[in-house]
Structure formats: C-alpha cells, structure tokens
C-alpha cells in the first residue's frame, strides 16, 4: 500500500474506530460513522485493502452532514472533504494499526470517490449535466445558462423517453408517461462548474422504471455512437425507424451546447449514461453533426399543405406525446380525405394547450399537416363551432 503523505501520530489518538452507524456496506462496512475520544462523530471511508489491513480516510463530520449524505443531497466526496483528516489502517476487530494526520489534498485522487457519487446506489442521480466553458463558474454563469441547462436535460430526456416508451408500450410494459422520465426531480446543484443533477421519479415503479431508464441510456449510447462515426449519413440508426432516428438526434441536440456564448461543452453523467462508451462531453461539433442528421432526415420527408379540423382530444391519451382527435368536423378533410379520427403528434410548445384539451375534453380546432403517414399538430385553437353542434354530434 502507498505511504500516506502526512504526519504519523499515535495509533490511539482518535480512540476506537469501531462503526457506530454503517452508511454503506458490501461484504464489510465500507463507509461508516464512528466516534472520536470525545464522542464526536467521524466519517470513515474505505480507500483500499491488502490482506487483513483496510485503509480508511477519516474526516470530522456532524449529524447534518450525515443526514445530507443519507438523503442524497450531498455526495461522498463532499462529505469527506474537510480541512483536517486522517488515514487509518485498520486490522481485525477494528484495531488501529497505523494513523496519519493528512491534509485532504494530499490523499491520492485515484483512491477518492468520484465527484457526484452518492452513498448508496439508489441515491445516485439518474442524470446530471455540467456546463463547461470560459463563461462558467461563480460570477460568470448566467440565469440563461442555468435555464439552458435545465431545459437541455428536460428536452433531451423527453426525446429519449418518447422513443423508449414507444417501444415498451408495444409489449405493454409501462404505465408511466413521458413526463415521468423527463421532468425529473431536482437533486442537487453545484456552482463551481455549474452542474445540476436529477433523481429518479418521485412515484417510482421499481423494475419498470429501471427498464425504461436502461433503454433511454441505450438509446443515448447508440445515438452518440452513430452521430460520431457517420455524422452526415441519413441512414436510420439500427433498430429505429426514420422518425425515431430523427427524434433521437433531436434529443441529443438538446443536450449539446449552444453555438455561441460562454458554454462550449456539456458533460453528462448519472445512471442514464452508464452504458456510454464514447466521450460524455458533448461539444459544438456534436451539435453540428446532430443538426446535419436531423436535416438529412427531414429532406426525405414529404409534407402536405396544412389543414384545419375540429374535434375532441380525449383524456385517455393524457400524458402522451400524441393525441387522438375524434368527433371530427368536417368528416371529409381537404387533403386528408374521410376520417373518423386522426392521431396527431405535437411539439413541446403545444403541451399546455393539449393538456387543457385533455382535461376539459372540449372541442378544439387543430391546424395540422400530413407528413408521410403521420399527422402533426402545428397549432391548437379554440373551436369556432357552437357548443350545440358538438353536443349534437355526440348524441348522434
């Protein structure tokens, strides 16, 4: 084992380092609270082991830090980083075999927990992103940058969730909606290099959520690989249709830094990125490549002229990225032909209007366009039909 850089002190200087509260264990206590000679709490964290000896980093702590750690609002590195700490070699029965007083910055970084790693796996963020660039840091990061970071996460995850849920719904595996996997609860933020982390959905569905997040992670992986290996190719990503491929590159684009301003890279992390084998830092080049891929897919898509149709979006579709318009007026739509119902996809800017329509189930007028075999809502307006007309249609 490496020789600690610090002052070797009496082995009993801290007293008995037997755990009083184990915070994480695997086969043995790995991170725990123990008490010093005055009964004040110390945080012990396993660094390495050899034979019967285990080496721990010991830091002064308090109940507030321990609570933050257990709640997932503070990472292990943050909890350990204290001006005064010790390296302790512990043998059987927690006997202190060697003890050194060391400055925290002299502890080899290769042995310290990674930034953002939480005390238990279930507390690890699902997704985090960190802004990087000359305009990032205390006094530099602007409100617009912070908004951009939150929007990037929400938009990117929404795109991935949309494709993942499409696939899972086909085999009836999910009950949650896109928002449950994209509008994730804030977990923590760091100012030094602006970083924002998101935890799992509040209303968890154990097993099901993991499957969806795994699929979202897989999509991010294959999307980034496709983007970085053949960025100008318009061939769909393996396993996805053209529409899903476009959605995937839209999602990745949302996670990339803007072409101007002080943020020129965005690093992503968290459980969702565990499958990534390429760089986790998204650059402006990634943005250009994703724009090219999106443009390439749109060039081969034929759009028809917009049309207007009135109908009801039923609440059964609530939370999805499409709505089915029923009770149509007129029944024979110019450019579309006779139809009893139309499934419209919609972009985010229409979410509130669609949501209102789902809740009220009142008639709405949709300005839509046909793209191949799909229909997209361009705008949603209040219906100009008299209520009597709609009620009459319903009773018929």
Partner 1 sequence: MSTQSNAPRFPKWFVPGCPPSDAVDASGTIFRFVASVPSVPAEYLSYHETGERPNAPACQRCGLSVFRKVEDVRRLLRHLWKNYPGKSYGPHIVKRELSPDDGRIKATGSPGHQTWWAYEGVERHASFEFVETVQKH
* 93 contributes a contact to partner 1 by CB under 8 A: yes
When the beta carbons of 195 and 243 are compared against partner 1, the nearer one is 195
Q: Is there binding between residue 29 and partner 1 (CB under 8 A)?
A: yes
31 binds partner 1 (CB under 8 A): yes
Q: Which stretch binds partner 1 (CB under 8 A): 114-122, 171-179, 228-236, 237-245?
A: 114-122
**105 part of the interface to partner 1, by CB under 8 A:** no
Residue of the chain from 20, 37, 52, 331 that contacts partner 1 (CB under 8 A): 52
Query: Should residue 187 be labelled a site residue for partner 1 when binding is judged by CB under 8 A?
Result: no
Q: Does 110 bind partner 1 (CB under 8 A)?
A: yes
Instruction: Select from 39, 83, 121, 138 the one that contacts partner 1 (CB under 8 A).
Output: 121
Q: What is the nearest approach in angstroms of partner 1 to the Cβ of residue 116?
A: 8
- Nearest Cα residue to 100 out of 62, 61, 47, 57: 57
Nearer to partner 1, 112 or 336 (CB): 112
**Under rule CB under 8 A, residue 208 binds partner 1:** no
User: With the CA atoms of 243, 204, 199 and 222 taken in that order, what torsion angle do they form, in degrees rounded to the nearest 10?
Assistant: -30
Size of the site for partner 1 (CB under 8 A): 43
- Residue 34 CB, nearest distance to partner 1 (Å)? 12
Which of 46, 182, 244, 246: binder of partner 1 (CB under 8 A)? 46
Interaction of residue 396 with partner 1, rule CB under 8 A = no
Question: At closest approach, how far in Å is the CB of 106 from partner 1?
Answer: 15
Residues 105, 148 contacting (CB under 8 angstroms): no
The nearer residue to partner 1, 39 or 121, going by C-beta atoms, is 121
Which of 34, 54, 226, 266 touches partner 1 by CB under 8 A? 54
How far apart are CB 222 and partner 1 at their closest, in Å?
14
CA distances, 64 to each of 10, 69, 288 (Å): 29, 9, 45
Note whether 386 binds partner 1 by CB under 8 A. no
**Which listed residue (73, 280, 284, 318) binds partner 1 by CB under 8 A?**
280
**76 makes contact with partner 1 (CB under 8 A):** yes
What's the CA gap between 66 and 151, in Å, rounded? 31
Question: Between 195 and 250, whose beta carbon lies closer to partner 1?
Answer: 195
Residues in contact with partner 1 by the rule CB under 8 A? 24-31, 45-49, 51-52, 54-55, 76, 90-94, 108, 110-114, 116-117, 119-121, 124, 210, 214, 271, 274-277, 280
């Amino acid at each position: 084992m490496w020789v600690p850089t610090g002052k070797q002190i009496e082995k009993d200087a801290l007293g008995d380092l037997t755990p009083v509260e184990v915070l994480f264990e695997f086969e043995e206590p790995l991170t725990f609270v123990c008490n010093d000679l005055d009964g004040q709490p110390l945080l012990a964290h396993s660094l390495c082991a050899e034979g019967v000896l285990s080496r721990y980093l010991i830091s002064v702590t308090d109940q507030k830090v321990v609570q933050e750690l257990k709640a997932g609002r503070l990472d292990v590195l943050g909890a350990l980083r204290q001006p005064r700490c010790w390296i302790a070699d512990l043998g059987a029965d927690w006997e202190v075999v060697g003890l050194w007083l060391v400055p925290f910055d002299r502890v080899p970084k290769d042995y310290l927990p990674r930034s953002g790693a939480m005390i238990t796996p279930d507390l690890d963020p699902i997704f985090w992103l960190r802004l990087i660039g000359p305009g990032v840091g205390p006094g530099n990061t602007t409100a617009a940058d912070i908004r951009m970071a939150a929007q990037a996460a929400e938009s990117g995850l929404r795109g991935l969730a949309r494709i993942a849920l499409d696939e899972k719904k086909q085999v009836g595996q999910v009950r949650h909606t896109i928002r449950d996997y994209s509008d994730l609860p804030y977990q923590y933020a760091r100012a030094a290099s602006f970083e924002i982390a998101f935890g799992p959905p509040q209303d968890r569905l154990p097993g099901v959520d993991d499957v969806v997040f795994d699929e979202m992670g897989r999509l991010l992986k294959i999307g980034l690989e496709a983007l970085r290996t053949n960025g100008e190719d318009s061939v769909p990503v393996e396993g996805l249709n053209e529409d899903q491929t476009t959605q995937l590159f839209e999602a990745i684009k949302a996670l990339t830094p803007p072409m101007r301003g002080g943020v020129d890279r965005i690093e992503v992390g968290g459980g969702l990125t565990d499958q990534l084998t390429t760089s986790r830092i998204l650059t402006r080049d990634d943005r250009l490549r994703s724009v090219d891929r999106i443009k390439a897919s749109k060039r081969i898509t034929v759009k028809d002229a917009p049309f207007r149709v009135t109908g009801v979006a039923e609440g059964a579709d609530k939370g999805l990225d499409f709505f089915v318009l029923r009770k149509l007026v007129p029944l024979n739509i110019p450019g579309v032909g006779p139809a009893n119902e139309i499934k419209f996809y919609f972009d985010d800017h229409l979410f509130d209007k669609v949501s209102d329509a789902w809740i009220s189930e009142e008639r709405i007028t949709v300005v839509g366009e046909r793209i191949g075999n799909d229909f997209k809502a361009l705008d949603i307006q209040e219906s100009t039909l008299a209520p009597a007309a709609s009620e009459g249609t319903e009773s018929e």
